[in-house]
Amino acid sequence: MPATPRSLEENVSLAGLSTLGIGGPARYYVRAGRTEAVAEAAEWAAASRLPLLVLGGGSNLVVSDEGFPGLVLHVGVRGIETAADDGTVAVTAGAGEPWDPLVARAVGEGWAGLECLSGIPGLVGATPMQNVGAYGQDVSGTVTRVRAFDLAAGRVVDLARDECRFGYRDSRFKREDRGRYVILAVTYLLRAGGAPAVRYADLERHLAAQGVGSPTLADVRRAVIEVRRRKSMVIDPDDPNRRSVGSFFMNPVVPGAEAEQIEASARRDGTLAAAEKMPAYPAPGGRVKLSAAWLIERAGLHRGYRRGNAGISTNHTLAIVNCGGATAREVVDLARDIRDRVRDRFGVTLVPEPVFVNLEL
């Protein structure tokens, strides 16, 4: 039997470790700041036949009111290393590094590739798992290596970008190999002196309104944070919508013919005015990405809608918020209501972004 981890605690509340502010206790809890501590805790959990939950910044978790019956391994591996070569900079950051300060550093140094991902809460370790993206940019465009502890093999491995099998808000870590790897560090390849990415309509409009014709990396970062703040998508202690996991549902990607049918149906019943166009964006393989927020609103739900102590953000239809004293059950009930109304109205089943711990949608 492996030795008991030195920092092991019992019955630790998970509500305070989640941006949603909801969740019961972890039966056991370990915060690991070194690779060796991660391996030690994982081996102890396996030998004790306990389920393992890997926790980072808690910005993408919906934890049940009953909590988690196994070991919560809170990864806090820190450290940032850089290596410049021929116009590029490889930035390797520990999984426990806060994400937005890393983006701020890259922008300040003039390294392009992460600027549109400004203002996103959470830690570095979650970025390849979720293939974190926003405003036309995602980390799969810059990740070159993920270092992880392979629970199945009991050793540290390095996975190249292609081995991560990235998809839209997806990766092997979230999909077929969910629960197999504990991410320890991520390497991003950035462009020294590169131009910022401005591919998203909201961002273009915001910059144009400010009279910024040739934006710098700093301009784009500032604009992204301002747009996110208007939608309550940055953590602000004074914002009543702050207790959320960000966008609760992914934008659905459907075949082109299905998108046309949805738009035609919306016109027939008056949901979509004659001069109005349904938000839709080209996706690989001739498919079309729809706006989940638009679908939710046109299914009859509105900002500020509440079920008990859980509600839709007053600033952004895609965010479900803890209005104060909400339970995980109230959040799940509201999410089901949203999903079912959109499915009944448009025939599209929205897929949630957050990870559900000890409960199902």
Whether residue 112 is contained in a domain is answered as yes
Closest C-alpha to 293, from 348, 235, 239: 348
Residue 1 covered by a domain: no
How far is the CA of 240 from the CAs of 41, 233, 234, 314, in angstroms? 37, 12, 12, 9
pLDDT tier for residue 361 given thresholds of 50, 70 and 90: confident
Q: Are residues 26 and 149 in the same domain?
A: no
In a domain, 48, yes or no: yes
DSSP state of 142: T
Q: Is residue 25 part of a domain?
A: yes
Q: How many Å apart are CA 196 and CA 230, to the nearest integer?
A: 22
* 196 shares its domain with 300: no
Tokens read off for 312: 């839709």
d(CA 56, CA 200): 28
Half-sphere exposure of 253 (CA within 13 A, CB side): 10
Token digits of residue 261: 């049918």
Q: Show the domain range for 17.
A: 9-75
pLDDT band at 6 (very low <50, low <70, confident <90, very high): confident
Q: Which residue in the list 232, 247, 298, 345 is annotated as catalytic?
A: 247
In-domain check, residue 338: yes
Number of residues assigned to the chain: 361
Position 213 scores a pLDDT of: 85
Other CB atoms within a 10 A radius of the CB of residue 40 amount to: 19
Quote the percentage of the chain above a pLDDT of 90: 85
Single out the residue in 35, 57, 75 at which a domain terminates. 75
pLDDT at 1 over 80: no
What pLDDT shows up at residue 342?
Answer: 97
Secondary structure letter of residue 65 according to DSSP: T
Domain boundary among the residues 75, 109, 126 is at: 75
Number of domains the chain is built from: 3
> Do 34 and 95 have their domain in common?
no
Q: Are residues 133 and 30 in the same domain?
A: no
Domain CATH for 225: 3.30.465.10
Terminal CA-CA length for the chain: 36
* CATH code: domain of residue 249: 3.90.78.10
Q: Is residue 237 part of a domain?
A: no
Q: Look at residues 322, 328, 325 and name the one whose alpha carbon lies nearest to residue 310.
A: 322
d(CA 47, CA 253): 42
Quick one: 13 and 118 in the same domain? no
> In this model, does residue 238 exceed pLDDT 90?
no
Asked if 169 is an active-site residue, the reply is: yes
- Angstrom distance (rounded) from CA 126 to CA 183: 8
Residues 111 and 161 in one domain: yes
Which of 359, 248, 221 is CA-nearest to residue 312?
A: 248
Residues 58 and 85 in one domain: no
Of the candidates 27, 169, 191, 303, the residue annotated as catalytic is 169
Looking at the structure, do residues 280 and 192 belong to the same domain, yes or no?
no
Q: Is residue 235 part of a domain?
A: no
CATH number of the domain where residue 57 is located? 3.30.43.10
* 266 DSSP 8-state letter: H
Do 188 and 55 lie in one domain? The reply is no
Is 141 in the same domain as 120?
yes
- 3 domain-assigned: no
Last residue of a domain, one of 50, 75, 100: 75
Question: Residue 350: enclosing H or E segment and its boundaries?
Answer: none
The predicted model scores a pTM of 0.90
**Interval 66-114: pLDDT, tens:** 999 999 999 999 999 999 999 999 999 999 999 999 999 999 999 999 9
Residue with tokens 């000890």, as numbered in its chain: 358
* DSSP sequence for 234-250: S--TT-TT-SEEEE-BP
Structure confidence at residue 233 (pLDDT):
87
Per-residue pLDDT tens for 299-351? 999 999 999 999 999 999 999 999 999 999 999 999 999 999 999 999 999 99
Given pLDDT bands bounded at 50, 70 and 90, which one contains residue 30?
A: very high
Digit-coded pLDDT (tens) for 121-176: 999 999 999 999 999 899 999 999 999 999 999 999 999 999 999 998 899 999 99
| 71 and 95 share one domain | no
Going by pLDDT thresholds of 50, 70 and 90, the confidence category of residue 56 is very high
Claim to verify: residue 175 and residue 288 sit in the same structural domain: no
CA angle 172, 175, 181 (to 5 degrees): 55
Cα(71)–Cα(42) distance, integer angstroms: 9
Q: What per-residue confidence (pLDDT) applies to 161?
A: 97
The predicted structure's pLDDT at residue 15: 96
